[in-house]
A and B are shown apart, each in its own frame.
Chain A
Amino acid sequence: MKSAFRARALLAHALGHRPVAAILVFASFGLSVSTASAQLRDQVIIRDKRAPLNYQLELEPHLVIGTNPPGAGQGSGAGIGARASLMVLPEGFLPRVNDSVAIGFGLDVGHYTGDWALQGYRDQCTQFQSGPNGTSICTQTTSNGGTYNYVYLPVVMQWNFWLTRRWSAFGEPGLDIYYLGNHGLNFSPAAYLGGRFHITDSVTLTGRIGYPTVALGVSFLM
């Protein structure tokens, strides 16, 4: 109430002197009001001890991109996928921080092209035949680094930090099991850092950077 009187007095004072000053005062008043309003709307909650959202499962369809994939493939690529994260520790690890822990299981498919490599590519042999004297002879190679279709099955621990009502962040260490055609199944370490912008209490825009993929999608908290 006091601030409103003060603002009006400032405004009247400014109008009495110069129009430019009046505009500046009016603008700063408007900015301070809107900032205060935004602060009220986007309340910091990281110091709260409990998770702000009551959900058991997060389902996240997303688009993925990646470069320098694990294993025999090379180049860069893009694809689609989904992640399901099951809440296992709603209170998290830290007693005075609003964190939580989930276990994430995913399925991502990505198509990589060798000549989109950031640091050049090399062709690879795709077919060998046995030669005389126990030798092995390559009879077919890739072209322009070749193309590769990956199927990833990430399994991660998702450690969430509920920062504000609008924003949350997470880290995801884990493992990526992957399938690459003739090369079969293999695995690589996986690590991600991500963030969510909460469109509503149960729908968020979710981004994730890390290896082997970077993802952008929408999460549904259920």
Chain B
Amino acid sequence: MYQRHILVAAASILVLLSVSGCHSAGGSCVQGATCDCSEGTDCYQGCADGDGCDLSCHNMVHCGGVCGNNCGLQCHDVNDCSAFCGANCSIDCHNTVSCGASCGANCNYSCQSVDRCGVRVGPNSTVTCHTVSTCVVECEGTCHVSCSATNPCQVTCLGGGSPVLCANGLYACGGC
């Protein structure tokens, strides 16, 4: 009799162990809202409805935003800033140690006064690196990259070929 109870208890514990940990979902910010997060150590915001959120974080250690399409993400005065976005996003990262981002098509990414900036963008995107120690840009399709007071500024065209230096000083994948 006791053995049966012990077996049931052990099975319950195993089930709980197997599902333990964090369950992720799409975040808590609602579409159309501006969600701000500051102070403390870590804050990672997500767009609950998937698209159309305006996420901002600042003055902490680690922060970031995850969003679908048509989003705005901004972070400043943090150690590490992260942005993950779909198409038609505008991302601004400044006064941080590192900025990492991945966004889809028609992305407008700005990285300013940062030690290390690394971004992967989709087709028809624009990237600006200003006063950055190292700026690494990976373009999936056509893109234009502006680097000022940045050394090195490394642009990679993931679709093949080498980036070209245009007359206006921009680096471009897929022609000027």
Which of A's residues lie within 8 Å of B, judged by CB?
72, 107, 109, 122-129, 131-151, 179-183
Contacts and interface: CB of A to CB of B under 8 A. Distances in A.
Contacts of A179: 17, 20
B118 A138 contact: no
Contacts of A109: 12-13, 16
Contact of B20 (A127, A131, A136, A149): A149
Contacts of A133: 98, 100, 116-118, 134-136
Interface residues of B, number: 43
The 7 A-B pairs with the shortest beta carbon distances in the complex, nearest first, are A181-B21, A135-B100, A133-B118, A143-B25, A132-B118, A149-B20, A141-B46
12 contacts: A123-B46, A125-B42, A132-B120, A133-B134, A134-B118, A135-B116, A136-B100, A143-B27, A143-B48, A144-B25, A148-B21, A181-B22
Given A140-B24, A182-B22, A135 B98 contact: yes
B101 A131 contact: yes
Interface string B111-130: 00000111110000000000
B100 A131 contact: yes
Nearest to B154: A133
Nearest to A73: B22
Interface in B81-130: 82-84, 98-102, 116-120
B28 to A, nearest CB: 5
Given A109-B13, A125-B44, A180-B21, 11 more contacts: A109-B16, A131-B118, A132-B118, A134-B118, A135-B98, A137-B101, A142-B27, A146-B23, A146-B25, A151-B16, A182-B21
B66 A151 contact: no
Contacts of B27: 123, 141-143
Contact of A122 (B12, B42, B119, B136): B42
